[in-house]
Structure 1
């Protein structure tokens, strides 16, 4: 590796990732160059790693994954006004066109031209340096570690879900599935002052972490039943048919089902008859829009708790181990962090 090269993690085939080398990217006038300090492994990374696609989006090998990212600004473009060299930042990975109807109406997450880091064919953040437009980069306080700051991305999904549900203080909320997005949704729901926050999972450790983030009731689904006709809002994070059926049954009349998780199959069955009789609103979530600043604020408030979500850390040279560990979602593994510019831990 020469002075102008950086290490990258190349997904070269299904379930096989190798360390390679690329040139450090140059920057446009409106961009900053970021030395990537920490990247969180996301559920979508696991999908691409194990299956090679999500829906119709298919990996073209080699592919660089990762989009939950924080780091340090090391170079600024000539038109950049928000940042200076040395600033600590978190990266919002989706950059839209900014001019289409969806962008101009504030729904830029639905922009047809969005460039989203790690979504094929775009490179992700599992590389030592990335270039990114300054308006999708956000300062983080010194009190927040880089690894904690990577959680701004999944937390933004939870915030967007609550915005879609129009959550009000005093509502009763059920959040199904305590992976990183589900846990971050618990943190956001607590911040939004829900009256009750019930959570479900099959792993008791994850339920305990949820309780530390503000859950008022934990339900280990293999041992306990979910109360029916009770909740104002259900946030479902797995996409599993059985979970969606339970969500419909648990909602009171006029309740809202917010679906976040991608199902394993293209089509799933919903009990539309019951949904009609209860007049349930079905809302879906695709990424997020205008949520990152609030996510960073919530993380800074809860920094001593959210660190419980980070269960394993790896360096880039051990990226294979990091990906395999991230796949152990049925165990105590919650969030795996990769350090991009450290040679050992």
Structure 2
């Protein structure tokens, strides 16, 4: 029989998060569920989104015995509303990045690395929660385990472990899926692999940037200044929607490039070299923003996004590219 997963108010009304219900179509399954759980459940179901195997569908679609249906009430778990209150995650992201900047200023690698790991871990939990609201079955544990393995490889082997560290982001979630059949759906596997690759890659790249390029705290300081400034500018652009030239994408490109020049001057780096790095970071930042919208909402450049750390999507992708850009240009 088709498996039905319930979220938020529907889960509370039914007093269960998963069940199996007979039905040849989505509508038949929903009608049977409403009959079983009563009026409160039916009222919540009237406004819920319906996802079959990770794809949004209507009630006329057929279902088979191996299909999974996820029922998602509006603002499931409150994360979308919470994200709106925080300016699509801008404020929460600034708090997290500020903690990383503080650790970098102290100058101790032993302090900075755990803060970096915590930041990436929080982002992972946030984006997985957002993706799960669309009916994807994702596990946090394997992703975090992959990040720990990636950090260990970088610590032990240095730059030669960059590609193996990236691979940890895929190996752990895919390996775990072999033991849990419901997590073998291509959509869920793809999201898990993407989140794992981005998180492990960002961890490895930023760790290497701080240890390989001297002085490491100034190199990371350059990156953090660019990121913090761009987050603030992008948030300001979001609030000025009446100006079509100040959209988020244009603001990111202009902000990253301009702040790269400013940061290079402040830290005494070559303006030409770090301007080129800035162009690369702006492309990676934009790619991360677009990629994040797909991971979180299933649509490119959608807004608002679920989660409170959505503004960290772009910076993490820029972080993934940072070490490679430094190696290529410097």
Same fold (TM over 0.5): no
Report the TM-score when normalising by structure 1.
0.25
Higher strand residue share: 1
Higher helix residue share: 2
